[in-house]
Amino acid sequence: MGAYRERLLVPVSYWLLAAPCVVVLGAEAYFFVDGWIPPLVIGLLAVLVGTLYVRWSLATIEVAGPVLRADGDTLALTEAGDVIALDERQSAQLRGPRGDPAAHLLLRPYLRRAVYVAIADPGEGGVPYWLIATRHPERLAAAISSARDAAGSTDADGTDTDEAGTGSHRPAGQQSVG
């Protein structure tokens, strides 16, 4: 399978539910003042909610070549250990009481299922796993597994390195200093 790309768009139901909520909350300003302030409050709430939803919709998950990109963060798949597609109950446990605070999370409130990607050697104080919310956990897990296996078999000298040659995962835009 190998290549995979998914955009975590906010569902239409969230947008439809936001409109009456913004109007009702903004209309409460009429209890305090009249004139142009209540419509301004409604407009500001609409911009705030719209900005939040657009930001949530910008998140993408991509498996391309030997790397996994999740909302701008990159993981070299040669570092990935177990990859498990989780159901709703398992995802809820890892998002909550059984979760590790050091884990790398890409979650959205409208996505109930996720993929667990263990880090083979997290090191001292490192990230133990990635938890990535998705609409298609089985397809994402299969893409990660096949890309990981392909990346592992292409290292001629047996070393695990990412595309920068550092063998580590890091947020997007950060360069290796070593």
Query: How many structural domains does the chain have?
Result: 2
Residue 178 lies in a domain: no
Residue 50 lies in a domain: yes
The residues of the chain scoring below 50 in pLDDT are 1, 156-170, 173-178
Dump pLDDT digits (tens) for 8-38: 999 999 999 999 999 999 889 888 888 899 9
SS3 99: coil
In this structure, the answer to whether residues 64 and 48 fall within a common structural domain is no
Q: What is the pLDDT of residue 84?
A: 96
Q: What is the pLDDT of residue 154?
A: 55
Round to whole Å and give the CA distance between 122 and 134.
Answer: 23
Q: Six-digit token pair at 149? A: 């296996």
In this structure, the answer to whether residues 41 and 111 fall within a common structural domain is no
What pTM did the predictor assign? 0.77
CB neighbours (10 Å) of residue 157?
5
Q: What is the pLDDT of residue 54?
A: 96
Q: What is the pLDDT of residue 34?
A: 86
Cα atoms in the Cβ-side hemisphere of radius 13 Å centred on 23:
5
Residue 1 lies in a domain: no
Is there a contact between 4 and 62 (Cβ–Cβ < 8 Å)? yes
Q: What is the pLDDT of residue 174?
A: 43
Q: What is the pLDDT of residue 118?
A: 94
Neighbour order of strands in the sheet with 80-86: 80-86, 114-119, 129-133, 104-106
Residue 108 lies in a domain: yes
Q: What is the pLDDT of residue 176?
A: 34
Residue 176 lies in a domain: no
Q: What is the pLDDT of residue 153?
A: 65
In this structure, the answer to whether residues 30 and 107 fall within a common structural domain is no
Range of the domain at 131: 60-171
Round to whole Å and give the CA distance between 99 and 89.
Answer: 13
Round to whole Å and give the CA distance between 134 and 132.
Answer: 6
